[in-house]
């Protein structure tokens, strides 16, 4: 891996972000014979978020193996390099002009690249304490899971002794494991939801092994302490009763926001629901020849799904390189009602079959159906055993072949 240079001035495809989505896309593009594929990564090493996650659970969907994050990341990096992908690290993409001139800042200075196609795979970040508007002082000892994992796994810094974990989705249980690994006891996990949002087995096991009590229907209302966290005030949502707990560390988990600043600055249309770029079924954004994939588009999935979405976007980019489309594309909006937080893609290309529709629900439910309608016609109806607000869900896109040009937007909703 090296910094970006003049010999990468006009790549066929420039990928921003060397996480699972970007690296998998790069691998697919090379497999399909695309000549120059350059991946730009702002960190010193490629691999994305998995590089910081020292626990297993990676690669199950795409590599059919259960790997630790760093092993998984290394496999993707090695495969990409073996195929001739050029990965430039310590390089940040700052802006992309409408003609796709891409400004990159690296230790060697500022360079403008002129790629034919751009794929954005800049991922997500957890909403930090400031963005969650939690009142109180601003002491040391407040982390997101990502910061905690970097602190413990990469920097080997001491964390604290007694922690509160805010959130109860998959990642929150990873935070409990990381705390324990760092010798910190988890005094409580809190969620304002009436249930946790992870897998039952995994959450039970982690709570039993690490003895982390889960307080449901409870919210953090204030952080206490001057220089270091000294405690926190928790409120029971139903009764309104307030309790103080003694902790010196607070970890905010989940509550993902796409890392969409670059997309936003590049005048790409942003979805008000996902807060990432709006995409068509093939990953195209509102700007010609700029695509987006991975957690940036659907906040947030497993690494395997991000990788798969990167691979799919790469297949479409390669198709466009080899067979530029001349026919006019007819695009139909996909809209969801208030039972759903978001759906992606947000636009369907007429006569192009959609592989899967990804979505999130607003509430917990069981034995519901996801209905896909256009006008008065029901195009698809899928039974959902359980839904949970922070859990990724998807259904097949076979119904997309029945979408008609003149019948208006496709509407997606939960129903009985
Ligand atoms: C704590 C934690 C535990 C997890 N555990 C699991 C697990 O057990 N199993 C699993 O399958 N998944 C797990 N995940 C989820 C998994 O890590 C993500 O789904 C996956 O990393 C998403 O891949 P991505 O390529 O979309 O984004 P990312 O991995 O976030 O990669 C995006 C990359 O883009 C780079 N970037 C951003 N902006 C710029 C820019 N302007 N210029 C250059 N580079 C830029 C970033 O530095 C980053 O490297 C976990 C996530 C976390 C946070």
CB-based contacts of 382, cutoff 8 Å, min separation 6: 369, 370, 395, 396
Percent of the chain with pLDDT over 70: 99
Q: In this structure, is residue 282 part of a structural domain?
A: yes
Q: How far is the CA of 246 from the centre of ligand 1 (A)?
A: 32
Query: What's 8's DSSP letter?
Result: G
318 vs 136, more confident: 318
Kindly give the number of the ligand 1 atom that is closest to the alpha carbon of 293.
Answer: 26
- Are 165 and 245 found together in one domain? yes
The atom of ligand 1 lying closest to the CA of 305 is 19
Q: Angle, nearest 10°, between helix axes 303-322 and 20-31?
A: 40
State in Å: Cα 406 to ligand 1 middle. 39
The pick from 266, 303, 358 for probing ligand 1's pocket by mutation, whose C-beta has the most ligand atoms within 8 angstroms, reads 303
Residue 328's pLDDT band, with cuts at 50, 70 and 90, is confident
Percent share of the chain, pLDDT over 90: 76
Pairing label, strands 92-96, 102-106: antiparallel
Q: What is the pLDDT of residue 121?
A: 98
Site residues for ligand 1, CB cut-off 6 Å: 16-22, 40-43, 48-50, 53, 57-58, 92-93, 121-123, 145-146, 149, 171, 174, 259, 262, 294-295, 300-304, 306
Residue 263: cis peptide before it, omega within 30 degrees of 0: no
Q: Which of 3, 16, 17, 266 for a ligand 1 pocket mutation test, highest count of atoms within 8 Å of Cβ?
A: 17
Residue 56: the pLDDT is 86
Is 1 domain-assigned?
no
Domain CATH number, residue 390 = 2.60.40
Same domain, 241 and 274: no
Q: Does residue 384 contact residue 338 with C-beta atoms inside 8 Å?
A: no
Distance 132 CA to ligand 1 centre (A): 21
Residue 65 included in any domain: yes
Whether residue 184 is found in the same domain as residue 213: yes
Residue that terminates a domain, selected from 223, 254, 285: 254
- 179 and 186 in contact (C-beta within 8 Å)? yes
Expressed as residue numbers, the domain containing 169 is: 128-254
Structure tokens at 374: 């256009």
- Report how far residue 409's alpha carbon sits from residue 269's, in angstroms, rounded to the nearest whole number: 18
Question: In total, how many domains does the chain have?
Answer: 3
**Do 277 and 297 meet the contact criterion of CB atoms below 8 Å apart?**
yes
Confidence class for position 1, pLDDT limits 50, 70, 90: low
On whether residue 230 sits in a domain, the answer given is yes
Beta carbons of 22 and 13 less than 8 angstroms apart: no
In contact, 168 and 196? CB cutoff 8 Å: yes
Return the closest-CA partner of residue 140 out of 248, 12, 252: 248
Nearest to 207 by CA among 238, 165, 258: 165
Going by pLDDT thresholds of 50, 70 and 90, the confidence category of residue 61 is: confident
| Three-state secondary structure call for residue 166 | strand
> Do 109 and 93 fall within a single domain?
yes
Q: Which pLDDT does position 62 carry in this prediction?
A: 87
Task: Answer for the pair 296, 263: CB distance below 8 angstroms, yes or no.
Answer: yes
Does an H or E element contain 204, and which?
helix 200-210
Does residue 190 form part of some domain?
A: yes
122 CA to centre of ligand 1 in angstroms: 8
Q: At 326, is the pLDDT very low, low, confident or very high (cuts 50, 70, 90)?
A: low
Token pair in block for residue 388: 């949970």
């Amino acid at each position: 891996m090296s910094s970006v240079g003049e010999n990468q001035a006009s790549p066929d495809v420039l990928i921003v972000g060397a996480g699972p989505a970007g690296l998998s896309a790069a691998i697919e593009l090379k497999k399909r014979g695309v000549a120059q594929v350059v991946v730009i990564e702002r960190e010193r090493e490629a691999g994305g978020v998995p590089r910081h996650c020292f626990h297993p659970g990676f690669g199950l969907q795409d590599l059919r193996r259960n790997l630790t994050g760093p092993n998984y990341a290394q496999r993707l990096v090695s495969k990409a390099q073996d195929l001739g992908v050029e990965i430039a690290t310590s390089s940040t993409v700052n802006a992309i002009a409408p003609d796709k001139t891409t400004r990159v800042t690296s230790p060697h200075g500022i360079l403008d690249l002129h790629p034919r196609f751009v794929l954005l795979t800049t991922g997500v970040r957890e909403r930090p304490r400031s963005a969650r508007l939690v009142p109180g002082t601003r002491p040391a000892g407040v982390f997101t899971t990502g910061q905690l994992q970097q602190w413990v796994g990469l920097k080997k810094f001491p964390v604290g002794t007694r922690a509160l974990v805010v959130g109860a989705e998959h990642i929150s249980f990873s935070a409990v494991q990381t705390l324990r690994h760092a010798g910190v006891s988890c005094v409580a996990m809190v969620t304002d939801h009436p249930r946790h949002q992870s897998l039952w087995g995994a959450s039970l096991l982690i709570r039993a092994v690490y003895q982390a009590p889960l307080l449901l229907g409870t919210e953090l209302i204030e952080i206490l302490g001057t220089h270091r966290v000294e405690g926190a005030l928790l409120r029971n949502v139903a009764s309104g009763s307030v309790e103080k707990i003694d902790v010196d560390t607070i970890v905010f988990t989940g509550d993902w926001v796409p890392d969409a600043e670059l997309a936003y600055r590049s005048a790409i249309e942003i979805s008000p629901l996902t807060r990432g770029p709006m995409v068509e079924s093939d990953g195209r954004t509102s700007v010609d020849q700029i695509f987006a994939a991975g957690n940036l588009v659907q906040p947030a999935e497993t690494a395997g799904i991000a990788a798969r979405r990167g691979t799919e976007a790469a297949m479409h980019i390669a198709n466009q390189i080899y067979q530029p489309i001349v026919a006019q594309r007819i695009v139909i909006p996909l809209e969801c009602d208030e039972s759903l937080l978001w759906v992606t893609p947000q636009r369907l290309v007429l006569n192009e079959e959609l592989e899967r529709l990804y979505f999130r629900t607003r509430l917990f439910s069981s034995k519901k159906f996801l209905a896909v309608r256009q006008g008065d016609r029901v195009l698809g109806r899928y039974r959902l055993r359980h839904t949970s607000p922070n859990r990724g869900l998807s259904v097949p896109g076979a119904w997309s072949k029945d979408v008609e040009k003149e019948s208006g937007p496709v509407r997606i909703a939960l129903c009985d």
